[in-house]
Structure 1
């Protein structure tokens, strides 16, 4: 039996339909899915019966019965029990579900079920974790084709050929478009926004440019060399908007309650320590303390900027601004 990725995806398409339509006929199933009756009966149903979980005893498999022309589905017993997941596992499932792309327009039921499942996950979480899901970074590297930007393919070409690029760029908060020459290092998509990480010859250091703020682009004949030590993945990990060569300082943030559990799962244990009161202190090196402070404030009273003093003062100032917004 051919258990290719395409076959597995088709089986996953069938599961919610069969579960909600016990006794559905093969003809109706073919009409709903767009698969042929023969393909469903001869290949997909036998493949579904191979789906299960360890230790793969008879009662651990999905059971599919073909009674004449009607199809019935029964899940293994353990699928009926509530699923218990850690916060980091919930985030992984949520990320996977929100990035699903459908290849079959005949399956509105699957789309509806997927949307309902995403909502169920979000509604079951406390508010602090829901905020984290909404704010967590979705990152992909240059293999993502951003069809909404006319600059994506030219920039990818320039990156691969290591050719300099002249862009007309409107910086945030600026009213004038400026022309600059960049050495494009790589494309990154962060939270749905695509950036080109490049050496900016005007500023003399690496800068992340949003593609939707580029107003003109020309690939030049001149080439450039990339530092062999440069890694796009490391650049993202350290901070897409962190200026190379700028002195970093260590910021300490104390997390309590549910936030402490979440942070301990998000960051390597070398970056935090457990205190006697079960809180944890996270240590982050950054050249942009303002951004770290704003990130910490998202956790409300479960997070406290401990130090250094000047960064703690920034947190107090931010809270003062917030208080002024709500002052009568």
Structure 2
């Protein structure tokens, strides 16, 4: 199959994904610049997974939209946003959040509600940005699903980010009281913060954990409290945020489904040339085939797209998507 033989559907898919990716990146960029105060193009590029030229194009787009982003030149320069501009995250009450969650469980396709997937997606996004919830440890339910996301109730978002930024600027370690999902309890951690990033609707501290003796990520909304210590640390020169995000992307994709598709060498060049999703990874195989992997919220989003490549594409994972395509092909076989 030649590149010009690829159907119009595939190009529409690419255009749609690129448009959504840009909107998502622009929103993340606003949040990062707003809360961090001063951010460099390199740091934005690493966090968003794009190059510097794209960052500058994003800044231009924000300025055209009357978002007051300015540039400070010099050795310690970067981008900053006018202090009079403020885009505050959603701050719903406990009762409002509970109502949303209950609605998402009750309104389903079985009850003839046709927008079940869209509702669940919207509620998921609201949960992830509603970091100023007033919940406490007593609000953890039997499933552990709801208030774990809002365990950081002692301090609000602004105070946490302010302390993290101060500790990084002064080279001081942080003492955090962190809620561990695996152990279902609070643990005291000493962390040397390397970066503060905003990914998939959540803020994360990327830094060296003295207890684990390794670089880890910590969700801000799972931090019960944090204090800047008097202990001095120096960020390693060989630490790369870009490499860390590449190797630990799954940490920032909670609840999403990994999709791996093997493409025939006949169209491998085309697959490698196109940016299909913001989180994709392409691996070349010895026989000329390629493996494309990325994350989605629902396998139905990509079933028709994969089938459009015909025999040139094979789903490796997840098994659910393989079975769905197999059933679809069986139905087609019966018709023809």
For the criterion TM > 0.5, the same-fold answer is no
Please indicate the TM-score interval, normalised by the length of the shorter structure: 0.3 to 0.5
Using structure 1 for the length normalisation, give the TM-score.
0.40
Q: Which has the higher contact order (CA 8 A, sep 6+)?
A: 2
Structure with higher Rg: it is 1
